[in-house]
């Protein structure tokens, strides 16, 4: 290379010198390297290591949270429904002891249990829809209570996947079974609904979608929306976004205008009473509240004859 192509030593240092002179004259701070902006190089190694650990811990927590959400979404029906399974022989034996008979549809499929009134003609028909961990024979005591004060034909719906009924429980399947049950009750007598716990959402569905068919409701330990109950029990999860079977009782009851009785318990941890009170406050039709401060889940703190007598009087007045 020729000597004219190689800068002299003082020419190589000319540009930095000019920058230094301008910086001193106008008080311009020296430029900060890009890498120092992204990750300060003058920080101690311990500080950098701490930041990396925090970042990694945050990623791990986020991954765990996403996995928990996925697990809830995939297993939510196992958490909502707790079906009890029995053989047909076991069901028949238990039903006989409770003085219940099989309730069958026109095709001969057993869809639940029934106990007709002891005196005829019956004053009405009561359809019972139970909670998530119960079954038809387990609700025979409701038939005992109501028939002790009035001549009602009592019918108890068995959910798909419960006892010996084939299928698997879901909101859609239960609603479809409830529609069939209501259709089989006919229109020649008044029809009343009793819904306990999860079943209160089924009763609200029937009342809201068939308002002209339902004469009155009694809801035991109910809720305004199942999503509200689930969110209260799992506050760290976006339950409102993940829940599939939502049972929006309050929304259904907006389409119904008949008498609705609601019973809540002050010590209820399964469905805290505040959700039942929300349903009561949100309903605009004739209503009555039974509130037992020292009761637990579905604890009627009155003699059955007295409680059911009050329910029937409430229905009759409205």
Torsion sign across C-alpha atoms 132, 134, 137, 140: negative
Predicted local confidence at residue 220, as pLDDT: 98
43: confidence class by pLDDT, cuts 50, 70, 90: low
Secondary structure letter of residue 137 according to DSSP: G
- Give the highest mean pLDDT range of 10-14, 59-63, 115-119: 115-119
Q: Is 143's pLDDT higher than 80? A: yes
Predicted local confidence at residue 75, as pLDDT: 87
Secondary structure letter of residue 152 according to DSSP: E
**How does pLDDT run across 126-141, given as a tens digit for each residue?**
999 999 999 999 999 9
Instruction: Give the whole-angstrom CA distance, residue 192 versus residue 128.
Output: 9
**How does pLDDT run across 215-258, given as a tens digit for each residue?**
999 999 999 999 999 999 999 899 888 999 999 999 999 999 99
pTM of the predicted structure, to 2 decimals? 0.82
* Segments of 203-265 assigned E as strands: 214-220, 260-265
The full length of the chain comes to 318
Edge-first strand order for the sheet with 260-265 is: 101-104, 110-115, 152-157, 124-129, 191-196, 214-220, 260-265, 287-292
Instruction: Give the whole-angstrom CA distance, residue 12 versus residue 84.
Output: 89
Question: Which H or E run contains 112?
Answer: strand 110-115
Q: How far is CA 178 from CA 11, 42, 49, 173, in A?
A: 94, 71, 61, 9
How wide is the angle at C-alpha 58 spanned by C-alphas 56 and 60, nearest 5°?
70
- Provide Rg for the chain, Cα atoms: 34
**How does pLDDT run across 98-127, given as a tens digit for each residue?**
999 999 999 999 999 999 999 989 999 999
Predicted local confidence at residue 56, as pLDDT: 82
Give me the residues paired with residue 216 across strands: 192
Instruction: Give the whole-angstrom CA distance, residue 100 versus residue 92.
Output: 9
Residue found under tokens 């409430």: 314
């Amino acid at each position: 290379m020729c000597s004219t192509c190689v800068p002299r030593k003082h020419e190589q240092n000319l540009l930095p010198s000019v920058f230094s002179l301008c910086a001193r004259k106008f008080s311009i701070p020296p430029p900060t390297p890009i890498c120092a902006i992204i990750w300060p190089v003058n920080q101690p190694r311990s500080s950098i290591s701490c930041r990396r650990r925090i970042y990694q811990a945050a990623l791990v927590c986020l991954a765990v949270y996403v996995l928990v959400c996925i697990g809830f979404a995939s297993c939510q029906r196992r958490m909502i429904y707790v079906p009890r399974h029995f053989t047909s022989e076991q069901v028949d034996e238990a039903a006989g002891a409770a003085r219940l008979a099989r309730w069958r549809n026109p095709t001969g499929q057993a869809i639940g249990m029934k106990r007709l009134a002891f005196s005829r003609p019956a004053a009405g028909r009561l359809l019972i829809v139970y909670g998530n961990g119960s079954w038809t024979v387990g609700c025979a005591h409701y038939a005992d209570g109501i028939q002790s004060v009035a001549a009602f034909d009592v019918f108890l719906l068995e959910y798909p996947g419960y006892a010996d009924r084939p299928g698997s429980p879901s909101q859609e399947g239960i609603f479809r079974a409830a529609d069939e049950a209501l259709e089989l009750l006919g229109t020649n007598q008044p029809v009343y609904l009793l819904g306990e716990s999860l079943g209160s959402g089924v009763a609200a569905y029937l009342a809201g979608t068939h308002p002209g068919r339902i004469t009155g409701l009694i809801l035991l330990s109910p809720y305004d929306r199942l999503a509200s109950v689930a969110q209260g029990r799992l506050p760290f999860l976006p339950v409102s976004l993940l829940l599939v079977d939502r049972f929006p009782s309050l929304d259904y009851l907006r389409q119904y205008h008949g008498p609705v009785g609601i019973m809540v318990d002050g010590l209820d941890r399964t469905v805290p009473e505040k959700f039942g009170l929300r349903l009561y406050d949100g309903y605009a039709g004739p209503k009555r509240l039974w509130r037992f401060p020292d009761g637990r889940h579905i604890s009627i703190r009155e003699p059955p004859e007295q409680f059911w007598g009050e329910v029937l009087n409430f229905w009759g007045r409205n």
